[in-house]
């Protein structure tokens, strides 16, 4: 976050008013846009290049999340978005989540 006046410390009031909202907006963007895209890319790349680990969908999602310094309260939000991206962008339909397996959409 950038401040116009850098000659003083940020007050508690400023922190609560500006920074917490800024931090919330960044977390929301990561959870709703960036992380599902990264997880989908990792999974589809691994599948298409035959290098996907024989593991559960949850573990693949957890790996993608671990690349970011963020605490996810509800992983199901990301899982649902990843499933949609895999199907719509990468033409992969999940047929098993443990172990993770796909079929190609025609």
pLDDT of residue 1: 54
pLDDT of residue 5: 65
Task: Indicate whether 88 belongs to any domain.
Answer: yes
Task: Indicate whether 4 belongs to any domain.
Answer: no
Task: Indicate whether 7 belongs to any domain.
Answer: no
Task: Indicate whether 6 belongs to any domain.
Answer: no
Q: In whole numbers, what is the pLDDT of the chain averaged over residues?
A: 91
pLDDT digit string, tens, across residues 56-86:
999 999 999 999 989 899 999 999 999 999 9
Could you list the residue range(s) of the whole structural domain that residue 48 is in?
A: 12-104
Instruction: Residue 102: count other Cβ atoms within 10 Å of its Cβ.
Output: 19
> Which mean pLDDT values do the consecutive 10-residue runs of the chain (106 residues) have?
67 83 92 97 95 94 94 94 98 96 90
Helix 75-88 vs helix 35-48: angle between axes, to the nearest 10 degrees? 50
- Tell me the C-alpha distance between 69 and 44, whole Å: 23
Task: Indicate whether 27 belongs to any domain.
Answer: yes
Task: Indicate whether 64 belongs to any domain.
Answer: yes
Total count of domains within the chain: 1
E-only strand ranges, the chain: 92-97, 100-104
| SS3 (DSSP) at 17 | helix
Task: Indicate whether 3 belongs to any domain.
Answer: no
């Amino acid at each position: 976050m950038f401040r116009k006046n850098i000659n003083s410390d940020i007050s508690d009031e400023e922190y609560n008013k500006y920074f917490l909202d800024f931090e919330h907006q960044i977390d929301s963007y990561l959870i709703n846009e960036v992380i599902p895209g990264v997880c989908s890319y990792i999974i589809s790349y691994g599948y298409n290049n035959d290098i996907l680990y024989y593991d559960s969908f949850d573990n693949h999602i957890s790996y993608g999340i671990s690349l970011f310094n963020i605490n996810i309260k509800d992983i199901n939000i990301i899982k649902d978005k990843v499933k949609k991206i895999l199907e719509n962008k990468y033409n992969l339909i999940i047929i098993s989540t443990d172990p993770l397996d796909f079929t190609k959409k025609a």
